[in-house]
Amino acid sequence: MKKSYIYNFVFLFFIGTCFAQQTPAPKQTTGYSIEGATAHLGNGKVIENALIMFSEGKITFVGSAENKIARIGKTIQAKGKHVYPGFIVTNSSLGLGEIDAVRATLDYDEVGKMLPHIRSLIAYNPESRVVESMRPNGVLIGQITPRGGTISGSSSIVQFDAWNWEDAAIKADDGIHLNWPNSITYGRFWLGEDPTIKPNKEYAKNVEKITSFFLDGKRYLKTNHLAKNIPFEALKGVFDGRKKLYIHASGATEITDAVNFIKEVGVEKMVIIHGDEAYKVADLLAENKIPVILNRAHRLPNNNDDDYDSPYKSAKILTDKGIMVAIGMEGSMERMSARNLPFYAGTYAAYGLGKEEALKLITSNAAKILGVDNRLGTLEVGKDATLFISEGDALDMKTNVLTDAFIQGRKISLETHQTALWKRYSNKYSSQ
C-alpha cells in the first residue's frame, strides 16, 4: 500500500510538471506607451507611426506618435514594427483536450444527445500546454466550445493567461451549439456498403426531433414547474436573446432548413458554423443578418465539381454579400492548428479579401459575433489592452515574430514548451 501511494505521488508530480504553464502575469500596475509602430486597429484602419497607451488594463490613447501628449509609464520604441489587437479564435476546443491519444486528457464531449445545460467553461484547463502555445502567434482569446451529440452544450470566451477558469472567463456561456443533421449520407465502404452519396432517409425525422425539443422547451419556460427540467432551463437564453444559437451546418440545404427552424421555434440570434456552401444561400443569410464562422482555409473542396480554391475565396464571397465572417477551428488536429489562425486569415487575404479586411475575421468580426466587441477586437480607447507587437506582418508566417504581448494590460510571457525545446536544440547544433 505504501509503495502504491509513493508511485501515485510520483505519477501526479510528473503529470503536474509536464503540464505546467508559464506563471500568469500579475495585474498591470505600470502604464505602457507603444510608440512608432504601424497600428492595425482591427476595424480596417491603419495608423502609421502610431502611439498606443494603456494603463490599469485599459487602452487610454490611440493616435499619431506626432501628438505631443505626455507618454505614460514605460515607453516601448517600436519603429518598424506592427501593433495588433489580440487575435480571437472561435469554435475551438482548446483547454478541453491535451493529448488525442490519451483519453483521460480529453473532456470536450459528454454522454448524451440533447445537452444544452453542459458548460464547457468549468472543464477548461488554463494550464494546458497547448493553450500556452497559442500566444507566441498572437492568439490571446478563444471561444471554448464543446463537441459531440446533437446539442453539445454552451461555449464561453476566455483569455489565455490565467490560474483557473474563473480568472480566464471573459464571457461565460455566450451561446449553445447545435449540430445540424446531414441531408445526405455516405456508405461505409469498410463494411462493404456502397460509398456513393445518398439522401439521408432519417434527415426529416432528425430535424423534427430537434424542432420538438426546442418547442417543448419553449412551452416549459412559459409555465411554472415544481421540478426543474435542467436542459430546458438552459434554453432560456436563446429564446430571450441573451445567448446565441450556434448551428453547425455545411450544406446549402441544411443551412436553409436551419434558418427556417429558428423562425419556427422563435430563436432570436443565430450563427452558422462551417458554412461550406453558405455562398449558395448568401442572400438568405444576408437578409436575415446571420453571421458565418468558416472553417480554416487550408482544406480541400468538399465536392468534386467545386473550384480548387473554393475554400480560400469563400470569405471574400460572403463578405462581398454583406455577411459578417470569422474563422473557426473545428476538425482534425483542431487544438494544435489554432496557433495558425493568423495564417488562415492571411490565406483569405491572398484570395481577394485584402490584409485589413482579413484581419477583421480574427479581431473585430470575431468579437462582434461572440458579443465581446465592447471589450475586445479593436484598438480603441476604453477597450481591454489585449494586444501585441510583431516584428512584421502578423498574417505572414515568415514575419509573425512577437516581441511583446499584453492581456488586459498585463505583460505576458511568450515562452512555451515549444520555444524551450527550440532553444535547447538550437544550442545543441550551434555548439557542434
Residues 298, 344, single domain; the answer is yes
In a domain, 4, yes or no: no
Residues 128, 116, single domain; the answer is yes
Domain count within the chain = 2
What is the mean pLDDT of the segment spanning 369-377? 97
Give the rounded distance of the alpha carbon of 378 from its chain centre: 16
pLDDT tens, position by position, 183-225: 988 877 777 777 788 888 999 999 999 999 999 999 999 998 8
Is 0.95 topped by the overall pTM? no
Residues 308, 386, single domain; the answer is no
In a domain, 361, yes or no: yes
Residues 300, 429, single domain; the answer is no
| pLDDT of res. 295 | 92
pLDDT tens, position by position, 398-421: 999 999 999 999 999 999 988 888
Domain stop point among 376, 403, 423 = 376
Domain region containing 416: 22-86+380-432
In a domain, 6, yes or no: no
Kindly indicate the confidence band of residue 238, based on its pLDDT and cuts at 50, 70 and 90.
Answer: very high
In a domain, 217, yes or no: yes
Are 407 and 86 within 8 A, CB to CB?
yes
Q: Which residue has the cell 475551438?
A: 92
Residues 31, 137, single domain; the answer is no
Q: What is the CATH number of the domain that holds 288?
A: 3.20.20.140
In a domain, 242, yes or no: yes
| pLDDT of res. 11 | 42
Kindly indicate the confidence band of residue 21, based on its pLDDT and cuts at 50, 70 and 90.
Answer: low
In a domain, 11, yes or no: no
Residues 431, 372, single domain; the answer is no
No. of H helices and E strands in the chain?
14, 18
pLDDT at 140 over 50: yes
In our burial notation (b when 16+ CB lie closer than 10 A, e otherwise), range 375-394 reads bbbbbeeebbbbbbbbeebb
Domain stop point among 330, 353, 376 = 376
Residues 199, 311, single domain; the answer is yes
Distance CA 337, CA 303 (A): 23
Cβ-in-10-Å burial (0-12, 13-18, 19+) of 124 comes to: buried
Domain stop point among 376, 391, 423 = 376
Residues 64, 142, single domain; the answer is no
Distance CA 287, CA 81 (A): 40
Q: Are strands 410-411 and 387-390 parallel, antiparallel or unpaired?
A: unpaired
Residues 56, 115, single domain; the answer is no
Give the rounded distance of the alpha carbon of 155 from its chain centre: 10
Distance CA 171, CA 245 (A): 15
Residues 385, 324, single domain; the answer is no
Residues 297, 422, single domain; the answer is no
pLDDT tens, position by position, 38-85: 999 999 999 999 999 999 999 999 999 999 999 999 999 999 999 999
Find, among 360, 329, 266, 359, the residue nearest to 93 by Cα: 329
What is the mean pLDDT of the segment spanning 151-167? 97
- Sheet order of strands, 139-144 included: 87-92, 139-144, 151-159, 169-179, 244-249, 270-274, 292-294, 325-327
Q: What is the CATH number of the domain that holds 415?
A: 2.30.40.10
Q: Tell me the CA end-to-end span of the chain in Å, nearest whole number.
A: 49
Residues 289, 409, single domain; the answer is no
In a domain, 287, yes or no: yes
What is the mean pLDDT of the segment spanning 333-343? 91
